[in-house]
Amino acid sequence: MKRCKKILAGMVALVLVCAMTACNTSWVAKVDDDLVSSGIYIYFLMNNVYQAYATLSDQGAQIESEADIFKNDIDGKTAREWIVEKTLDYCQIHLAVERKFAEMNLKLDQEDEENIKGQTENFWGSAREYCDDNGVSKTSVEAVQRNVAKQSKIFYALYGAGGEKEVKQEDLNNYFYENYYRINIEVAPLYNTGTGEALPEGDAQQVRSEIDDLLKRYNNGEKAEKIIVEYRKKKAAEEGNDPAGIPDTLDEVAFPRENSELDQAFMDKLKEAPDGKAFCAEADSGSYKSYLFIEKLDVKGNDQLIEDQRDAMINGIKNEEFGDLMEEWGKEMKAVFNDAAVNRYKPENIRIL
């Protein structure tokens, strides 16, 4: 009888320990007092189930439901293994970013907090149904957005001016010359900007004719700035607006050489155009068409454009390196994972379609 009581007592103790430790599935990963909550973990699962869906679809797999995802392999692993592995990696990176942010004594300012709130609201507005279906709260979404903001702070603290891994000005200059065009541009929509509907052909032809007139004036020796400013003031008056509100000067534009939003025919024409010349062309974004006047300039002629693109270019140069660096930090964290939570929140239960 005493032996039986001891066994029962041991079983009760085991149940209590389980309830207080591993069987608490409110968290999935931790380092010291820093936790990745189950809501954040499920958010990462949602993201990676979708990434698996996109990857398999790009490879030609027929995915009609979430269940179809798990019938396939990705990079030599089952889809389930691939998803869970990436999700656990995300957890480690999340924890590493929190720790590194504190170690570097960085702070989020008021603008950062407003951006976090705005991004959370935008995501929640578009994905609330999926979040509700999968058990992700708005609080978890905001926590992820805050961590992303901290990643950005760390990134620019490392690679920005005065940072430990500061990108040299020469590298920024060369990146700009290789990845941007310097242009003057006027864009005339071939659609109703109120409804998004394409203009009747007669109206569209009138728009093309007006933009073609700009090119004629340019080829007759007038400056692009002068003819574009005059055109904008004229259009403002026609629309009942005060032309005085249109600036008398024209800002040059840094235009990416790789622009997936516009059709290849337009991008090819821009590439082939010589510096110091202008042309007119139609550009198709897939949803809308516009008619453009463009003066292509020597890419090395405006240092201010380089400065204006500084953050974007640092990101272009160092983003991949920073991703690898965060993965290293994550692995160094040696996070403790809650197997009970990982086993409970299965990728097969995530709904994205």
Residue 29 is inside which H or E element, if any? Answer: strand 27-31
DSSP 62: -
The C-alpha atoms of residue 304 and residue 200 are separated, in whole angstroms, by 40
pLDDT in tens, 148-178: 999 999 999 999 999 999 999 999 999 999 9
Give the number of other CB atoms < 10 A from CB of residue 136: 25
Helix pair angle (79-103, 310-333), 10° resolution: 100
Residues 6+ apart with CB under 8 A from 211: 186, 188, 280, 291, 292, 293
pLDDT in tens, 249-268: 999 999 999 987 899 999 99
Average pLDDT score over residue span 55-64: 97
**Portion of the chain with pLDDT greater than 90, in percent:** 92
pLDDT in tens, 22-43: 479 999 999 999 999 999 999 9
The pair of three-digit structure tokens given for residue 163, joined into one six-digit string: 């940072």
Contact 45, 87 (CB under 8 A): yes
**Residues in the chain, how many?**
353
Query: Three-state DSSP class for 270?
Result: helix
pLDDT in tens, 69-128: 999 999 999 999 999 999 999 999 999 999 999 999 999 999 999 999 999 999 999 999
Contact 252, 306 (CB under 8 A): no
